Amino acid sequence: MKLYATILSLALLSGCSWIPTHVVDHDVMVPVPCKVTMPQKPLMPFTDTATVKDNIYVKTQKALAEINVRKGYEAELEAAAGSCK
């Protein structure tokens, strides 16, 4: 009885050692490295160019312009990151 148990356990263990490694089917997705060039960070109108001497109207214009520039930059970043999915 012990001999049969030993043979059975060895047979079961030997079945676990075989794992297919290079099986590629048409339905299987294969990981590919993502090679995307990130967009260059633009010059921010308020953060990079505002000075203490600017009056409140100039600062407001620069702040509103920066919002639009940031929206465009974020859209480019999302498009670059989304292409890697």
Question: What's the alpha-carbon Rg for the chain, to the nearest Å?
Answer: 30
d(CA 85, CA 22): 23
Average pLDDT, the chain: 81
Which pLDDT does position 25 carry in this prediction? 61
d(CA 82, CA 36): 10
Q: Mean pLDDT across the stretch 53-60?
A: 94
Selected residue with higher pLDDT from 4 and 37: 37
Give the tens place of pLDDT for each residue, 24-52. 566 676 677 778 888 999 999 999 998 99
Q: Indicate whether this model's pTM tops 0.75.
A: no
Q: Kindly list the domain boundaries of the chain, sorted by start residue.
A: 39-85
